[in-house]
């Protein structure tokens, strides 16, 4: 028997009456005034209303757990970055498998050193390879680690491990939000799917105006990454002139950033 798609699902609760909404809003306001006062009290009240609506919607437990964990991760990340908000930071993306001594690894170390000398801090994914090189060049004091918990492969590098500026995330989307939100610049080194995902997401956010316009620097000791991106853009008829990467290929890392 076919299901009638126009039927109202039985799990949806009927709308609250005006009296019920008023009582709810008054209770929320009293709670916020006592436990979360301040200039943003209205936003905290709206968040609690959303929680009430999730409950009334019959949202399943897995989805509620996702919202709960994501909010907790962001709250802790905001708290960790807050004392350093006045210091510019660069997010460094690159392969976790780049061996120490490789030209790309050494380039990442040098880049991070110069950023630290220019009073910047670095943000990396806290793993090995390019991420460890970034922390090694900047030093632990000028480094943030935004790690992702995976069932295999990635571990925290020994430079940032145990540091108070190391944040462990369950979800990629909360982690990538912090990479973008906190960065005044992005440095993209060669890497695999994860690195490309991070790089293209930043490019897309900047291109669409969803993120601030920041420098996005591609550093490639073998000079293959930028050429591949340029070929990709040039090969698409729909590509706008502003999609074309601006090419600058110094032989060495130098100057102020």
Determine which helix (DSSP H) or strand (DSSP E) holds 206, and give its type and residue range. Answer: helix 193-207
Question: Residue 29 in contact with residue 47, Cβ under 8 Å?
Answer: no
pLDDT tens figures, 204-215: 999 899 998 899
Check: pTM over 0.85? Answer yes or no: no
pLDDT tens figures, 154-200: 689 999 999 999 999 999 999 999 999 999 999 999 998 999 899 99
Using CA atoms, how far residue 161 sits from 71, 122, 181, 247, in Å, is 24, 15, 23, 36
């Amino acid at each position: 028997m076919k299901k009638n798609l126009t039927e109202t699902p039985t799990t949806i609760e009927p709308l609250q009456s005006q009296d019920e909404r008023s009582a709810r809003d008054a209770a929320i306001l009293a709670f916020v005034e006592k436990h979360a006062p301040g200039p943003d009290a209205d936003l905290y009240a709206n968040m609690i209303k959303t929680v009430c609506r999730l409950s009334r919607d019959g949202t399943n437990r897995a989805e509620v757990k996702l919202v709960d964990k994501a909010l907790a991760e962001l709250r802790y990340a905001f708290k960790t970055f807050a004392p350093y908000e006045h210091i510019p930071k660069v997010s460094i993306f690159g392969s976790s498998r780049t061996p120490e001594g490789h030209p790309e690894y050494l380039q990442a170390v040098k880049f991070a050193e110069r950023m630290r000398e220019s009073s910047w801090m670095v943000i990396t994914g806290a793993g090995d390879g390019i991420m460890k090189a970034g922390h090694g060049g900047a030093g632990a004091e000028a480094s943030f680690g935004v790690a992702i918990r995976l069932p295999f492969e990635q571990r925290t590098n020994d430079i940032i491990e145990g540091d108070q500026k190391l944040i462990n995330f369950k979800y990629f989307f909360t982690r990538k939000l912090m990479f973008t939100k906190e960065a005044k610049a992005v440095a993209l080194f060669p890497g695999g799917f994860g690195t490309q995902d991070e790089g293209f997401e930043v490019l897309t956010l900047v291109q669409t105006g969803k993120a601030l316009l920041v420098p996005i620097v591609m550093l490639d000791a073998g000079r293959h990454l930028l050429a591949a991106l340029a070929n990709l853009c040039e090969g698409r008829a729909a590509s706008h002139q502003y999609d074309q990467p601006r090419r600058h290929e110094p032989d060495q890392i130098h100057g102020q950033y």
